[in-house]
Amino acid sequence: MTLPLRWKVTFGALLAVACSLAIAGIVTVRSLERQHLVQLSDNLGATAKLAEYSLHPLFLSSDQLPSASQLQPMVRDIGTRASARITVVAADGTVLADSAILDEDLPGIENHRTRPEIRQALSTGHGRDIRTSQTTGERTMYRALVMTRSEQTPPVIIRVGFPMSLLERDIEQLTHNILIALGIAFLTALSLTIWLARSVTQPLSDITQAAQRLASGTQTLPIKTSAQDEVGLLAATLNQLADQLHAKIGELSEDRAQLLAVLTSMVEGVMVLDRRGYILQINPALERIFGISRAEARGRPFAELFRHRQLNELVEAILRSRKNQEVEIVLPLTNRCLHIDASVAGGERDNEACIVLVCHDMTELRHLETIRKDFVANVSHELRTPLTSIKGYVEALLDGAMDNPDMTAHFLNIILKQSDRLNLIIEDLLELSRIESGRISFRSDPIDIHAVIDRALSTIKPLAEKKGHRLIASINTRLPAAEGDEDRLVQVLTNLLDNAVKYTPAGGTITVGAGEAPIPRTAEPTGGALELTVSDTGIGIPEADRPRVFERFYRVDKARSRELGGTGLGLAIVKHIVEGHGGQVWVEAHEPKGSRFVVRLPISNGPQLPA
Ligand code: ADP
What gap in Å lies between CA 585 and CA 517, rounded to an integer?
Answer: 13
Determine the pLDDT at residue 272. Answer: 94
What gap in Å lies between CA 202 and CA 239, rounded to an integer?
Answer: 17
What gap in Å lies between CA 164 and CA 142, rounded to an integer?
Answer: 10
Q: Is the CB of 496 under 6 A from ligand 1?
A: no
What gap in Å lies between CA 494 and CA 488, rounded to an integer?
Answer: 10
Span from the CA of 549 to the centroid of ligand 1 (angstroms):
7
What gap in Å lies between CA 295 and CA 279, rounded to an integer?
Answer: 11
Over 70-108, what HEC string results?
HHHHHHHHHHHHHCCEEEEEECCCCEEEECCCCHHHHHH
- Rounded to 10 degrees, the C-alpha dihedral 370/373/378/381 comes to -150
Span from the CA of 380 to the centroid of ligand 1 (angstroms):
20
Nearest CA to ligand 1 atom 23: 500
CB atoms inside a 10 Å sphere around CB 163: 18
* Contact of 521 with 487, CB cutoff 8 Å: no
What gap in Å lies between CA 196 and CA 16, rounded to an integer?
Answer: 15
SS3 131: strand
Q: Is the CB of 566 under 6 A from ligand 1?
A: yes
Determine the pLDDT at residue 1. Answer: 55
Determine the pLDDT at residue 262. Answer: 92
569 Cα nearest atom in ligand 1? 6
For residue 47, what are the β-bridge partners?
Answer: none
Span from the CA of 277 to the centroid of ligand 1 (angstroms):
54
Strand pairing category for 483-484 and 445-446: antiparallel
* Contact of 308 with 331, CB cutoff 8 Å: yes
What gap in Å lies between CA 418 and CA 501, rounded to an integer?
Answer: 21
Span from the CA of 324 to the centroid of ligand 1 (angstroms):
50
10-residue mean pLDDT series, the chain (611 residues):
78 89 90 89 91 88 83 92 92 91 87 92 92 86 90 88 87 90 91 86 80 74 75 83 87 92 92 93 92 91 88 90 90 88 89 92 89 86 89 93 91 93 90 82 87 94 94 88 90 95 95 83 62 95 93 86 84 93 93 93 62 39
Q: In 141-228, where does DSSP find H-type helix?
A: 164-216
* Contact of 118 with 52, CB cutoff 8 Å: no
Q: Is the CB of 500 under 6 A from ligand 1?
A: yes
* Contact of 50 with 78, CB cutoff 8 Å: yes
Q: Is the CB of 283 under 6 A from ligand 1?
A: no
CB atoms inside a 10 Å sphere around CB 368: 11
What gap in Å lies between CA 335 and CA 369, rounded to an integer?
Answer: 16
For residue 130, what are the β-bridge partners?
Answer: 141
* Contact of 506 with 467, CB cutoff 8 Å: yes
What gap in Å lies between CA 324 and CA 327, rounded to an integer?
Answer: 11
What gap in Å lies between CA 141 and CA 47, rounded to an integer?
Answer: 13
Whether a cis peptide bond, with omega within 30° of 0, leads into 155 is: no
Span from the CA of 150 to the centroid of ligand 1 (angstroms):
173
Q: Output the pTM of the full model.
A: 0.52
Span from the CA of 587 to the centroid of ligand 1 (angstroms):
11
SS3 583: coil
* Contact of 63 with 150, CB cutoff 8 Å: yes
Span from the CA of 269 to the centroid of ligand 1 (angstroms):
41
- Site to probe by mutation for ligand 1, drawn from 435, 499, 551 as the one with most ligand atoms within 8 Å of Cβ, is 499
Question: What share of residues in the chain are helix, strand, coil (percent, to 5)?
Answer: 55, 20, 25
CB atoms inside a 10 Å sphere around CB 85: 23
Determine the pLDDT at residue 276. Answer: 92
Determine the pLDDT at residue 367. Answer: 87
Determine the pLDDT at residue 334. Answer: 83
Domains of the chain: 5-170 (3.30.450.20), 266-361 (3.30.450.20), 366-437 (1.10.287.130), 445-602 (3.30.565.10)
Whether a cis peptide bond, with omega within 30° of 0, leads into 525 is: yes
Closest CA to 483 of 441, 526, 445, 443: 445
Q: Is the CB of 32 under 6 A from ligand 1?
A: no
Span from the CA of 496 to the centroid of ligand 1 (angstroms):
9
Q: Is the CB of 424 under 6 A from ligand 1?
A: no
What gap in Å lies between CA 601 and CA 449, rounded to an integer?
Answer: 12
Q: Is the CB of 595 under 6 A from ligand 1?
A: yes
Q: How many CA atoms lie within 13 A of 237 on its CB side?
A: 7
Strand pairing category for 470-475 and 509-516: parallel
Nearest CA to ligand 1 atom 18: 499
Q: Is the CB of 499 under 6 A from ligand 1?
A: yes
Over 343-367, what HEC string results?
EECCCCCCCCCCEEEEEEECHHHHH
Q: Is the CB of 501 under 6 A from ligand 1?
A: no
Span from the CA of 555 to the centroid of ligand 1 (angstroms):
6
573 Cα nearest atom in ligand 1? 6
Closest CA to 490 of 512, 505, 472, 468: 512
557 Cα nearest atom in ligand 1? 16
What gap in Å lies between CA 152 and CA 12, rounded to an integer?
Answer: 73
